[in-house]
Amino acid sequence: MISRVWHGWTTPANTDAYETLFKRKVLSRRVSFDRSIGHTRYSYQIISRSDGFVIDVPSKTQAEIVDYCGTFSGKKTDKFKACNLTPFPSTKISSPAILEFPLNIECATRKSVNLGSHSFFFGEIMAVHCDESILDEKGTIDKRKLQPMCAFLNSYWRLGDSVLEFGRSRLIPRRRKQTP
Ligand SMILES: Cc1cc2nc3c(=O)[nH]c(=O)nc-3n(C[C@H](O)[C@H](O)[C@H](O)COP(=O)(O)O)c2cc1C
């Protein structure tokens, strides 16, 4: 049961429906993304009319661009122009990606759920594009070269070293409980 309600974006009345969707659509698929977008946003108008959306992953050097795009609305400002960003056509969906961001993940919208003030969009990853500068010699994404960042507690943070790889805890022997 999901009992925590995030700033009223979901209401207690729809937490069960939200949980079911999350389990079925997100956890059951290995390759999926979700976005919750406010209905007042210009992005909401665009995404709801489109067949998908692109997750453009910035590097830590691009925090100012991210902040600008997250602060000003496209209703009044051409954010591509203001931030010198270049749209480039996606291969599987109609929405464009942004060339200057090192990693672009094309998602086809599979489901949208109205949560009152926001809608949740569930997307299936259809294609991934990345800048050559973030690839290693084998052609896979080098997370150190990507230099990702995140937004947390009203600030943007660079992500430091990885502390553990997924699944590693399975390999660590657990200490047996000591009986007194
Ligand atoms: C770091 C950050 C994260 C944000 N995340 C969301 C979000 O998940 N959903 C949302 O609706 N708005 C979010 N916002 C607010 C919108 O980005 C902001 O209202 C923006 O002006 C919307 O632009 P638009 O009208 O062109 O869509 C976020 C803002 C920041 C700075």
What are the backbone dihedrals phi and psi of residue 161, each rounded to the nearest 5 degrees, phi first? -70, 150
CATH class, range 13-151: mainly beta
Q: What is the largest CA-CA distance in the chain?
A: 69
Q: What is the pLDDT of residues 100-142, one digit of tens each?
A: 999 999 999 988 888 888 898 988 889 999 999 999 999 888 9
Residue nearest to atom 23 of ligand 1 (CA): 73
64 Cα to the center of ligand 1, angstroms = 14
Residue 87, ligand 1, Cβ within 6 A: no
What dihedral angle (degrees, nearest 10) is formed by the CA atoms of 130, 135, 138, 139? 10
Task: Give me ligand 1 centre to Cα 70, in Å.
Answer: 5
Which two structure tokens, joined as six digits, stand for 47?
């995404």
Residue ID of nearest Cα to ligand 1 atom 6: 37
Structure tokens at 28: 């059951």
The pLDDT, as a whole number, for residue 21 is: 64
d(CA 43, CA 39): 9
* Domain assignments of the chain as residue spans, ordered by start: 13-151
Task: Write the pLDDT tens digit of every residue in 2-55.
Answer: 444 444 445 666 667 766 766 666 555 555 666 788 999 999 999 999 999 999
Kindly tell me if the per-residue pLDDT of 96 is higher than 90. yes
Phi/psi of residue 86, each to 5°?
-115, 120
| Whole-number pLDDT of residue 111 | 87
Q: Taking the CA atoms of 173, 174, 179 and 180 in sequence, report the sign of the dihedral they define.
A: positive
Q: In angstroms, what is the span from residue 54 Cα to ligand 1's centroid?
A: 15
> What are the pLDDT digits (tens) for 61-93?
999 999 999 999 999 999 999 999 999 999 999
Q: 75 in ligand 1 pocket by Cβ < 6 Å?
A: yes
Amino acid present at 18: Y
Kindly report the protein residue whose alpha carbon is nearest to atom 5 of ligand 1. Answer: 70
Question: What backbone torsions phi and psi does residue 24 show, to the nearest 5 degrees?
Answer: -75, -40
Q: Which pTM was predicted? A: 0.79
Are 115 and 9 spatial neighbours (Cβ–Cβ below 8 Å)?
Answer: yes
Residues linked to residue 52 through DSSP beta bridges, in sequence order: 108
Q: What's the gap in Å between 50 CA and the centre of ligand 1?
A: 18
38 lines ligand 1 (CB under 6 A): yes
Find the 111 Cα to ligand 1 centroid distance in Å: 20
Closest to 17 in 3D by CA, of 116, 86, 156 = 116
